[in-house]
Amino acid sequence: MLNPGHGDGEMIKIHIRRNIPEDKKEDLLLLIMKLRSMSMGKPGYISGETLKRLDIPGESLVVTKWQSVHYWNQWFQSAERSEIQNNIDELLGEETRYEIYEYDPM
């Protein structure tokens, strides 16, 4: 979760990283599909995509776009998301890593 005031009102991207053992893929897919379908209906959700890393087998990156940190925090803190996310972390044996980005005009 990010503190209010950081990224408020700005579109953000969330990078969600997981290491997925080959023997856990099928079980994980069911949980990911649940999370994806639930997030698509939430206020502030814009889009998402799942990528697999080519140079490191088993590493997965989900990139989601949200209208603001406020909406992301609502989703991140929701009981329905947390329940499924806990099941994912338990299945994989490690915590999912989150990185929050906003546009930087440099």
Give CA torsion, residues 12, 87, 31, 97, to 10 deg: 30
pLDDT in tens, 34-59: 999 999 999 999 999 999 999 999 99
pLDDT in tens, 50-105: 999 999 999 999 999 999 999 999 999 999 999 999 999 999 999 999 999 999 88
- What domains can you pick out in the chain, each with its CATH number? 12-102 (3.30.70.100)
Q: Which of the 8 DSSP states describes residue 27?
A: H
Q: How many angstroms separate the Cα of 67 from the Cα of each of 13, 38, 104? A: 9, 16, 16
Inter-residue contact 16 to 96 (CB < 8 Å): yes
What's this model's pTM, rounded to 2 decimal places? Answer: 0.87
Checking phi first, is residue 86 left (phi over 0); if not, alpha (psi -120 to 50) or beta?
alpha
Picking from 98, 101, 86, the residue whose alpha carbon sits closest to that of residue 17 is 98
Listing DSSP states for 91-106 in one string gives: HHTSPPEEEEEE----
102 phi/psi in degrees, rounded to 5: -130, 165
